[in-house]
Structure 1
Amino acid sequence: MPTVLETRIRNRFRVQPNHANNNETLHGGTLMKWLDEVGAMSAMRFAGETCVTARVNELDFVRPIGLGDTALVEAYVYDAGRTSVRVAIRAWREEPRTGETEGTTESSFTFVAIDADGTPSPVPELSVESEEGRQLRDRALGNES
């Protein structure tokens, strides 16, 4: 059984001019793409299968990420059904010169595991074996709308 912490993935994306909107901040659609990509990687690590996006359960943009900043995206599995995987995904604005971070985005996506034929595939049970994993799972369950 995979654990919450084994599914945790962090990735960074440098916000370039082609990612920006008219306000010189990261375009929301670009951030959604990055959230989806990192979330899918987490779901696939858990399921051991290709996972496709089934639903955006929640997506809250709290503050923008500026041009020249780094978008830090973190995802981890916090719940699983028979073929579905729920992934908590957060983003921060990171100042690349200092590493200072500020939370910007809270979200939760549902992915479905599929086999080589594109048919939904069973996923394993999720294990919570550490206090840190328990805290992450509890946080995600408490934030879900």
Structure 2
Amino acid sequence: MELKGSRTEDVLRKALNAELRQSFEYRYFAGMARQAGLQQVAEIFEATAANELEHARHEYEFLGGAGNSLENVRQAVSNEHDQVLKFYPQAAETAEQEGFTEIAEFFRRIVDVEEKHEKNFQELLHGIEKETEFEGRTVGHSSVEMAQLMLPEQANPAGFVHGGELMKMMDNAAGVVAARHAHSNVVTARVEDIVFQSPVRVGSVVFVKARLVFASRSSMVIRVDLEMEHISLEKGHDGQEHRVPAMTANFVMVAVDEQGKASAVPKLILLTEEEERLFAAAEEGYKARKK
């Protein structure tokens, strides 16, 4: 099927851009809905966004799709390099000349992030070409979300779930994250910055989200957030279920070998500004503990 130069090719490109924009907008709208406590609205926006992205995938494939993985990584290196050297510096200069200082500073910050993206893709490309393994694992590689219904035997006579039960769930989630990153046995070294935000009642569904925020030679810091949701008739004034933050904590885990001695873990690959920020904050705590 030869589309080159046809009106259909032009229509497909316009449709692709429209679907991608709608997918982004609906995900953004979903985030706003969650903040407003409109869970069902958020879910519909998210499901629709995923469907729009599926439409975009088909349109992209009609337009020729992409090459093999080696070609794709090479293209990614080229894309990031162009953004670092040309697009965002020029964008920052344009915004500065027109007096949009905040936007100019935003574009300059993006340059630093895109440089890291380019470096990651260059290392990937080198590994593929040399047939060597890429060192390190991303935050997303090991992140987990677990859910559990709270039962009467986990609570006190007043119906509030014991803090120890919640801590056990959080420790388990942190251990899964650490083990998935290290690919070895792990032990809990310490728990820091524990914050109890809301009591959890029997009958609530508890969601535990855990992700790696820092890794040194053998120790890892896992951020764990615990939320609860009532599944009984106790809903908000809008009739929606609400997830309520209940606890947060940072778990310091250490990788150990079969003899119980500390062992090295892969480096943590940081891809976003938030990951950089969390890593820097956890690194400060790590250095303070070392002192």
TM-score, scaled relative to structure 2: 0.46
8 Å CA contact 2:213–2:278 kept in 1: the answer is no
Per the TM alignment, residue 141 of structure 1 is displaced from its structure 2 partner at its CA by: 5.6
- When Rg is computed on C-alpha atoms for both structures, the one with the higher figure is 2
Question: What residue in structure 1 maps to residue 176 of structure 2?
Answer: 41
Comparing both chains, which one has the higher relative contact order based on Cα–Cα distances under 8 Å and sequence gaps of 6 or more?
1
Question: What residue in structure 1 maps to residue 214 of structure 2?
Answer: 79
Which is helix-richer, 1 or 2? 2
Query: Following TM superposition, where does structure 1 have runs of at least 4 consecutive aligned residues deviating by more than 3 angstroms?
Result: 96-99, 139-145
Question: What residue in structure 2 maps to residue 105 of structure 1?
Answer: 247
Unaligned runs of 5+ in 1: none
1:38 maps to a residue whose letter is A
Distance in 1 separating the partners of 2:201 and 2:252: 28
Where 1:113 maps in the other structure, the secondary structure is strand
Question: What residue in structure 2 maps to residue 28 of structure 1?
Answer: 163
Does residue 118 of structure 1 match 2:257? no
Unaligned runs of 5+ in 2: 1-135, 233-239, 286-291
Per the TM alignment, residue 58 of structure 1 is displaced from its structure 2 partner at its CA by: 1.7
2:169 maps to a residue whose letter is W
1:125 maps to a residue whose letter is K
1:4 maps to a residue whose letter is V
Where 1:66 maps in the other structure, the secondary structure is coil
RMSD (Å), alpha carbons = 2.1
Per the TM alignment, residue 138 of structure 1 is displaced from its structure 2 partner at its CA by: 2.8
Count of residues in correspondence between the two structures: 142
Where 2:181 maps in the other structure, the secondary structure is helix
Distance in 1 separating the partners of 2:221 and 2:195: 16
Distance in 2 separating the partners of 1:3 and 1:136: 10
Which is strand-richer, 1 or 2? 1
Question: What residue in structure 1 maps to residue 46 of structure 2?
Answer: none
What is the identity percentage for the equivalent residue pairs of Structure 1 and Structure 2? Answer: 27
1:109 maps to a residue whose letter is F
